[in-house]
Amino acid sequence: MIAEETITWHVACNIEDIPENGGACALIEGEQIAIYNFSRRGEWYATQNQCPHRQQMALSRGMIGSTGANNEPKVACPFHKKTFSLQTGECLSGDEYTIKTYPVKIADGQVYVGV
Amino acid sequence: MKKKIVVVGNGMVGYKFCEKLISKDVSKSFDLVVFGEESRPAYDRVHLSEYFAGKTADDLTMAPSSWYTENGITLYLSDPVVDIDKDEQTVRSHHGIVVNYDYLVLATGSAAFVPPIPGVEKDGVFVYRTIEDLDLMQAHAKTAKKGAVIGGGLLGLEAAKALLDLGLEETHVIEFAPRLMPRQIDEAGSKTLQTKLEALGLQIHLNKNTQEIVGNGIIEGMAFADGSKLEVDMLVISAGIKPRDEVAKIAGLEVGSRGGIIVNDKLQTSDPNIFAIGECALAHHMIYGLVAPGYEMAEVVATSIIGGEKEFKPFDMSTKLKLIGIDVASFGDAFIQEPNAQTIVFENTAKGVYKRINISNDGKYLLGGILVGDAEQYNMLLQNTKNKVLLPADPEDLMLGSRGGAESASSGVMALPDEALICSCEAVTKGNICHEIIENKVTTLDGIKKCTKAGTGCGGCVPMVKDLINETMKSQGVFVRNILCEHFDYTRQELFDLVKIKGYKTYNDVLDHLGRGDGCEVCKPAVASIIASLWNEMILERGNATVQDSNDRYLANIQKNGTYSVVPRIPGGEITPEKLIVIGQVAQKYNLYTKITGGQRIDLFGAHVSDLPDIWEELVNAGFESGHAYGKSLRTVKSCVGSTWCRFGVQDAVSFSIEVEERYRGLRSPHKLKSAVSGCTRECAEAQSKDFGIIATEKGWNLYVCGNGGVKPRHAELLATDIDSETCLKYIDRFLMFYIKTAEPLTRTAPWLDKMEGGINYLKSVVIDDALGMNSQFEQEMQFLVDAYKCEWKEVVNSPELRKRFTHFVNAPKMKDPYARFEPMREQIKAAEWK
């Protein structure tokens, strides 16, 4: 049986607060959440802001991009360039880490993150 | 019904067992109960000596008490198990707690072995095993002046390091054997180590048999079998370990004649429901006194309890460690000698380096060896030993590394057999990796890490994996062309020319027209650098901010806790008292750590991202500019004081260095650029270690290029002699433009020259004789960049739009990152240590 999880949507910021093709960090319910405006693809993503490698609150400052035949969207931590899938949170540079990902929706010029 | 596992002992191995079991037990079918004798949860005993070097007990903790609670583990501390009832399957603790078990894991570890010397019970005599021992030592050391350690092995020397850290006036090491670390290294290695340790202030006594510890209640001295005496008021005994098998004995489990709980290949004791792991276990007739085999034992038992199959194989005891800052390693059969093997020995007493390798009599295989003072070759040597790799004709090359000249191909990775274990952490062979490269076309390090897991453990094999990828591709006849990344099929040089011809000024334009996909952390900063080198526009405009590497994006250097450092430009290292005061005031106001850099500037550390624009507003108002310490660009032009003050100076080095720095400030290039100007041949500015360095002569300047400090230091090469200032700048213009156009990303000028066919002579023909006919273009392009220069920080300070991007939280712009933590140090702050 799959337990049903309810998503609570929180207003994070205005659309223009997140730079195009980059990220910024929002404080939501005491958690640091990195939000990415992947405007090249018209997509939005959100992950935990902390890089699990050295526990640095830095992923929102990382470069985003894509990799592989399926163009998997990813972010690279600015500290040691560990990369993570924006879709699954899986570490793509060979480590055993996974980061939390969050759903994002856009309405009325505002960015909402589901926690 | 859940099954219950009781773990007796909460040391490193006992903890590791819990960690491994929790991660394997996904269906949560086991309950874990842990009994520990000490009052603290398990801590890192390997790094115990760091306790005196400033680490706290918390720093050393493997996991806090909360970790046990969160994972549903019942942890009883200060309560050792005193009895085991095998028939009823219960244990009883010192405090009388009785718990039944389905499986019992004994991880009781070991205690210090104290030889029966008369007087060991006196005050001031310690063992070195637990944090409590350390606390006792620390208290006693306050009044002690002279200390000694009995035991010159690994643990003894660690304890000696602890005494040094405690600040004793004299620290003596007493060893019974004729050499130090008798289990790991030979006599010559011991001599090298001894010399290095003595230089650090230790006094070493070998062949010393302690007969009595003298003193009236409190230790006053030691008496030795040879009649000599030593006055000490503190003694640490570290003469070996003895397994803690008392409770196993009481329970009637089989133990070895010299201690240790006897276990089989599955680490079961004589009762199949009871396991023993770590230093209390006697496996393969041996006590494994290192942490790595202990962890492997934890893995074996956790696997088999969960229902898997795993055996504990005799463990390779090759070790590499840093002892008081000195590399010591031994691998394979370190001591085998003639007539069973041939040995090759290298010794450099001046540097304190000793290396020995043992090879088979037929000269074919490496059997083992010892490294003291320099263990860089350890990994390759260990691989060659374990994999029985056929040795090259000159086996000493393996031990000494490349000494310039062509490297013998047979000593490299391609000589390894397919079954050679490249990554021993994840058990990946050369065959596994080559299969991925050839069959599945995985040709990047990240790709190999992902599909084979090689290089994801300790990372020591990464250079070998890289070599394997390159060499395998070459052997497949693949022309290895250094394309930028998966998004661009061009080399940097090709891309540079294309971007120039097409006039692209944004990363998105370049990607849309010349690349594919969405870019990545490799091509984004590389293209951003090309665009900046071509047009010298503000790097944060036109949507280019998010393609910059973090340092460029925030125009500051990111540091360990996520804060940034700030470096204002101080051209030539010349600064007025007024400006110095401003820097001091800014540092005070924003609570920044200040340090003079290697480039004659002042670095201000610990700036929160949201403070950066305010800090720079004050600096810009006082006349400072960005120092570009964050960029792949010109850093500093260092200078000596030159002929304005120095009685030896022949030219005005400071004035010229300021002129040079102001000409090339802000110039973006494939990698950072450093420069210096010296006012005479004494070369106080160290110009010959710079990307371009200038040294004054009676007639003008000598220009040197492609020097390097850093990882691979290299002297710069002389490009031109006795030239005037104007010619000097012209040559530098040409040199820099040639470099910017043709170097690979992140390649300094020194390796760029190394790869250049024809070397310095070719470079001379381009820069001086105009062999490419490009020089007037180079000069024009450089002049364009010089004229286009603007201070980036001034632009940010004056732009409300750009300032807005300098926040940690977009929805709480004034708030600082609570995770950016600091610790006090020498009246300033430092970044909190990361895990």
pLDDT in tens, B127-161: 998 999 999 999 999 999 999 999 999 889 988 98
Residue B614 predicted with pLDDT over 60: yes
pLDDT digits (tens, 9 = 90+) for B732-743: 999 999 999 999
> By mean pLDDT, which of A86-95, B359-368, B418-427, B620-629 is the weakest?
B418-427
pLDDT digits (tens, 9 = 90+) for B290-346: 888 898 999 999 999 998 888 998 887 788 777 777 889 999 899 988 888 989 998
Q: Which residues pair with A104 in a beta bridge?
A: A113
pLDDT category at B195 given cuts 50, 70, 90 is very high
- As a dihedral over the C-alpha atoms of residue B104, residue B108, residue B109, residue B110, rounded to 10 degrees, the angle is -140
Sign of CA dihedral B377, B378, B383, B385: positive
Average pLDDT over residues B227-238: 94
Q: b vs e for B71-82, b when ≥16 Cβ sit within 10 Å of the residue's Cβ?
A: bebebbbebbbe
Q: Cβ contact (<8 Å) for B487 and A96? A: no
> What is the pLDDT at residue B337?
86
Residue B463 predicted with pLDDT over 80: no
pLDDT category at B215 given cuts 50, 70, 90 is very high
> What is the pLDDT at residue B404?
43
Q: Cβ contact (<8 Å) for B817 and A20? A: no
**CA–CA distance, B184 with B317 (Å, rounded to integer):** 9
Is the Cβ of B741 closer than 8 Å to some Cβ of chain A?
A: no
Q: What are the tokens at B324?
A: 């008081």
Q: Which of B690, B665, B696 lies closest to B787 in space, CA to CA?
A: B665
Residue B417 predicted with pLDDT over 80: no
In this structure, what are the phi and psi dihedrals at residue B639, rounded to the nearest 5 degrees? -145, 160
DSSP assignments along B697-721, one per residue: -SSSEEEEES-B-SSS-BPPEEEEE
Q: Cβ–Cβ contacts within 10 Å for residue B383, how many?
A: 23
Q: Helices in B573-611 by DSSP H: which ranges? A: 577-589
Cα–Cα distances in Å, from B23 out to B18, B352, B783?
Answer: 9, 45, 62
Minimal Cα distance from B462: which residue of A? Answer: A94
Q: Tell me which residue in A25, A95, A96 faces B810 most closely, judged by beta carbons.
A: A25
**CA–CA distance, B567 with B221 (Å, rounded to integer):** 56
> By mean pLDDT, which of B94-98, B106-110, B163-167, B621-625 is the weakest?
B163-167
**CA–CA distance, A24 with A19 (Å, rounded to integer):** 7
Residue B612 predicted with pLDDT over 70: yes
- Decide if B436 contacts B442 (C-beta within 8 A): yes
Distance from CA of A57 to the nearest CA of B (A): 7
pLDDT category at B456 given cuts 50, 70, 90 is low
Q: What are the tokens at A33?
A: 């959440």
Distance from CA of B550 to the nearest CA of A (A): 6
pLDDT digits (tens, 9 = 90+) for B9-58: 999 999 999 999 998 888 889 999 999 999 999 998 887 877 887 788 88
- DSSP, collapsed to helix, strand or coil, labels residue B464 as helix
Q: Cβ contact (<8 Å) for A17 and B558? A: no
Q: Which of B699, B640, B711, B635 lies closest to B666 in space, CA to CA?
A: B635
Amino acid type, B68? Y
> What is the pLDDT at residue B408?
37
**CA–CA distance, B249 with B254 (Å, rounded to integer):** 7
> What is the pLDDT at residue B457?
60
- Decide if B569 contacts B601 (C-beta within 8 A): yes
**CA–CA distance, B656 with B644 (Å, rounded to integer):** 12
Q: Provide the phi-psi class of B181: left if phi over 0, else alpha when psi is between -120 and 50, else beta.
A: left
ipTM summary value: 0.91
**CA–CA distance, B261 with B250 (Å, rounded to integer):** 12
Q: Helices in B503-549 by DSSP H: which ranges? A: 507-514, 523-535
Average pLDDT over residues B369-375: 91
Tell me whether the omega of the peptide bond preceding residue B339 falls within 30 degrees of 0, making it cis.
yes
Which residues 9-28 in chain A show a CB within 8 A of chain B? 12-13, 17-28
Sign of CA dihedral B607, B610, B614, B619: positive
Residue B460 predicted with pLDDT over 70: no
Give the pairing of strands B103-106 and B274-276.
Answer: parallel
pLDDT category at B387 given cuts 50, 70, 90 is confident
Residue B573 predicted with pLDDT over 90: yes
Q: Cβ–Cβ contacts within 10 Å for residue B623, how many?
A: 11
Minimal Cα distance from B561: which residue of A? Answer: A56
Secondary element (H or E) of residue A50? strand A50-51
- For B408, counting Cβ atoms within 10 Å of its Cβ (0-12 exposed, 13-18 middle, 19+ buried), the class is middle
The average confidence (pLDDT) of chain B is: 90
> By mean pLDDT, which of B443-447, B481-485, B502-506, B782-786 is the weakest?
B481-485
pLDDT category at B414 given cuts 50, 70, 90 is confident
The per-residue pLDDT string of chain A (115 residues; one tens digit each, 9 = 90 and over) reads 455 567 889 999 999 999 999 999 999 988 999 999 999 999 999 999 999 988 999 999 999 999 988 899 999 999 988 999 999 999 998 778 899 999 999 999 999 999 8
> What is the pLDDT at residue B227?
92
Q: Which residue has the higher pLDDT, B758 or B561?
A: B561
- DSSP, collapsed to helix, strand or coil, labels residue B722 as strand
Minimal Cα distance from A94: which residue of B? Answer: B450
Residue B658 predicted with pLDDT over 80: yes
> What is the pLDDT at residue B411?
42
> What is the pLDDT at residue B323?
76
> What is the pLDDT at residue B480?
63
Is the Cβ of B832 closer than 8 Å to some Cβ of chain A?
A: no
In this structure, what are the phi and psi dihedrals at residue B20, rounded to the nearest 5 degrees? -70, -40
Polymer length in residues for chain B: 835
Q: Which of A42, A39, A36, A41 lies closest to A62 in space, CA to CA?
A: A36
pLDDT digits (tens, 9 = 90+) for B699-715: 999 999 999 987 678 89
Q: Tell me which residue in B449, B811, B820 faces A12 most closely, judged by beta carbons.
A: B811
- Decide if B667 contacts B622 (C-beta within 8 A): no
